[in-house]
A = this chain, B = another copy of it.
Amino acid sequence: MIHVNKRSGMESKKKILVAATKVFSDYGYKGASMRMIAGAAGISIGGLYLYFKNKEDLYGTLIRNRLDDLTEETRETLRDIQDPAEAMSTFISMRVKYARKHRELILVLGKEQAITFGLKAKRKFFEDQRRVIEEIVRKGITSGRFRSCDESEVAKIIICALRGFILSMIVEPDALFSHEECSNLILKGILAKK
C-alpha cells in the first residue's frame, strides 16, 4: 500500500540542503538564486519547489536543522564534565571546532541578520547557549573556582566574545588564533596577578 519511489525524494531533499548551504554561504540570501541552488544540487529549478514551498522556506529549514543539531551536541558533551573551568574550555573549543568544520553555516548565519525568519531560530539558539554558560559560571562561583560576579551578565559577555572569535575566524581565516588562547584569556584575563 505504501508507495515509495526508487528515486527517493529524501535523497534529493538532502542534496538540495547541502547545495543550498554552500550557495547561501557564498552569496548570501539575496545573492543566491534558485537557479544557482538548483544547478549546484544537480536538479531542475522546478524540482526545488517539490520539497520547499519557496526560497524563504528552504533557507529557514536549513538554519533550523543545523542549529538544533549543535545545541543537542553541546548538551551531550558537557553532561559529564564537573570542573567548571574545564567545562568552559570545552564549550569554547567545541564551538570553535564546530565553526571550523561547518564554515558555510556560520557564513550563512552571519550574512543575513535582518531576514526575520532566520532571526527567531538564531535568537533561540543563542539563548540556549547563554543558559549553558550561565550554569557553568554559577557552578564555578559556588565552588570557589571562579571569582564572584553576576553570572548572567558574564554569561552574556562570554557568548558575545565567542561569537566574535568565530566570526573573525571565518571571515579572516589567515588571522588564526588557537582556542586554547581564547579560553586562557577568558579564564585568566590579561592583568598580572598581584
Contact = CB atoms under 8 A, between A and B. Distances in A.
A165 B154 contact: no
A192 B157 contact: no
A113 interface: yes
A139 interface: no
Interface in A87-119: 88, 107, 110-114
A168 B172 contact: no
B172 A126 contact: yes
Contacts of A175: 156
Could you say which of A27, A112, A171 has the most chain B C-beta atoms within 10 Å of its C-beta?
Answer: A171
A28 interface: yes
B163 A168 contact: yes
Interface stretch (A8-16, A39-47, A180-188): A180-188
Contact of A165 (B107, B161, B169, B190): B161
Contacts of A181: 150, 153-154, 157
Number of copies: 2
A78 interface: no
Nearest to A88: B190
A63 interface: no
Interface in A110-156: 110-114, 123, 126, 137, 140, 144-147, 149-150, 153-154, 156
Nearest to A176: B156
The 10 closest A-B pairs by CB, nearest first: A164-B164, A189-B189, A30-B30, A161-B161, A160-B168, A163-B164, A188-B189, A147-B192, A160-B164, A160-B165
27 contacts: A28-B112, A85-B191, A110-B113, A111-B112, A111-B113, A113-B171, A146-B190, A146-B192, A147-B192, A154-B190, A156-B175, A156-B177, A157-B177, A157-B182, A158-B190, A160-B164, A160-B169, A160-B177, A163-B168, A164-B166, A167-B167, A185-B186, A186-B189, A188-B189, A188-B191, A189-B190, A193-B193
